[in-house]
Structure 1
Amino acid sequence: MPRDEVSVTKPEGATPRAPHSHNDVVRVINDTLKGRVADVFRSLIPAFEGTKGDEFYELVMANSEMLHGCISIFNRNRSAFRNLLVDARGRPVNDDFVALRCGRSVHDVIAMIVRTHAKRHFKATLGGDPNDPTTKAGAMYKAINEYLIHDWQVALVPHYAPLPLAKVQEMGPRLLDIREAEILDSIAANAGGALPVHSPRPPATPELPQREQQWWKALNDSTVVKVLGQRPESETRELVAALGEINELVHADLFARLGLSTFQAAVAMVTAYKLLGRAGFRTQFGVPGKPAVVAAIAQRLDKREVGPHTDLRLMPQMMEAALRG
């Protein structure tokens, strides 16, 4: 990602046009954040009155709590930003995954903001240039930037910084399974121990083989339930048993190849189970399974750029499309 300090001055009265290169997009987004977005926040928050655009940008980007608060205000007051949430033809955009006039979606812009904030925090707390991987800040940013994509991660940035670099590299996409600062703090304090498993008080885990336990916890996580819907415990047990039979090739050639988190993998596999049925699912993904089919599905998902950055809500349609070819 280019440095976030770049900006461009447009002549007054110039007609907005869709940016072309990635650097153009970054400049347009940064100028919008410092300009029209700052204007809206000044109208919503009296404390920002009299704060110039550049000052607003620097102030908010440097403070996790303030940035988290501003994103929350944006999410609660979308109507105040309606003139900014339009596509290249000026039509309203109500979907966070549809491109805006700048060429990026709200989801993309949020990810850029989270990464920009992380760079600044890492520079301040770890030292060095976050764009230089030979420095502490740069090494941490290089290891984690691919997984900085959701607005809820802003509050976790101060808790990512103390993590040992080797642990971050080891965890990879599993970072996206963790939403609680306390768990990250525990990992930092006990770096040599096992990775705590994120679970916001799911139903008590029954006595299950170790591999099935991870699926039980994933399927009962609130974020996964929102995507797949509520189900009786008996159905969850059936799904867990099926997921527990997934062969090692699927774990290596599908999950690991695409860098999927446990939650993403759970949603993808449950989608496949619903489409194929128990027998079909076992034939494709069980033992011995069909390596050629698994490789083809992985390739189709890869072509659709499915990876750790993919929103959980998109996984069912992505997996269904891959299954159908």
Structure 2
Amino acid sequence: MQTRTATADGMGMATGPAIAAAEGAPSLPPRVSWGAVFAGGVVAVTVGAMLNILGLAIGATTIDPIAPGETPSASTLGIAGGIWLLVANLVGLAVGGYVAARLSGTSDDTDGVLHGLSVWAVGFLLSAVLLGNVIAGTASTAFSGASSILGGAAQGAGQAVQAAAPAVANNVNPQALADRLQSALQTGGDPAAMTSDQRRAEMTRIVTGRVTSGSFEGNARDRLTRLVAAEYNVTPQQAGERITQLESEAQRVATETEARARQAAETASNAAATSAYWLFAAMLLGAVAAVLGARTGTRRAVVLSSQRAYG
């Protein structure tokens, strides 16, 4: 609520009413121009995309499949492409900051800088949205193509199975197949009296348990030794040596696999950290470019002398 009071000069004469503003009222109107900010963001993204397309065209012209020695290496192309991408984005943000500060009509340097920072934020958001849409569209296209290929393959396989089913049914005795499978599942008997299918089925079960648990349980090792001896017609001592050699090889492979997995995880972690640092640096440089462009585009106030104004 505003109140009007009269003020007096040194001689007690009233000089006119004074206006008292209520506590908490804004002293200055908002000076942000969102239209200028969005215009600058769109210009920044467009200029950056245009320069990136130009860089892609230049990079494509350097590839010469006829003369392999004339084509730059993959590492060289990657480094050049990264530098061009960074420079293109910096130029785009600088131009966008200039446009936003110029269109805002402000003559205050702080307001111009803030408009440039707003363009930087809007430009990165627009780039992220556009990149996300491109990735989503590419993934959708790839998924549709894969689904069509798999669907056609499944349909062809189904037709082949339907065509081959009568011939298989005529040549295979279902009862004999069932008896064979049931016989293969029988374990625990004398290895010498078991069939080859039975011995192999039990050996597979014991080896699977050894791999899963990390060690033989109970008398599983002795049982496996007897099965190997009977299956391959070797002495129990030779069968034990084979099992020991197999365990050593399995342990070596497991150790190497674990070491490779740790190395791959460390490499991926270092790559992610490096990428994050580079992205942070690129965003920081982009903010600096947008601020410099906004400072350049900020209007300069012209103070006219009283003679020129009124003379």
Q: Which has the larger radius of gyration?
A: 2
Tell me the TM-score range normalised by the shorter chain: under 0.3
What is the TM-score of this pair, normalised by structure 1? 0.23
| Structure 1 or 2: more helix by fraction | 2
